[in-house]
Amino acid sequence: MGESKQQKKGGFLNALKGVLYGMASHGNVTAALRTRMHMEHLFMFITLGDMLGIPVLPPYYSLRILPYAVPNIESWKQRVFRERDFTDAIY
């Protein structure tokens, strides 16, 4: 019987922790992730902008950074070129 009370107490505390997280910091975490996404888009655009016809950096520097950016090229192109809807801005 003692174990079931501890499980109930642990379940209640986990639920309370989830509610407090949602109330206090979910907005901050979401904003930080959105900022990170925008910074990654900007980095890829600066590094590989010549793929889109916009040379931002000289090719020498782009080639030096290229090995770090290659794994993300396909997903970046899909994110940049996908169709947008007005509901995307609501988020």
pLDDT tens track for 49-84: 777 777 777 777 777 877 887 888 888 888 877 777
Q: What is the mean pLDDT of residues 3-12?
A: 71
Tokens linked to 85:
């809807």
Distance in angstroms (rounded) separating the CA atoms of residues 15 and 17 = 5
Q: Which of 49, 27, 34, 36 is nearest to 88 (CA)?
A: 34
What are the tens digits of pLDDT across the range 19-45?
A: 998 888 888 998 999 899 889 888 888
Location of structure tokens 């192109």:
77
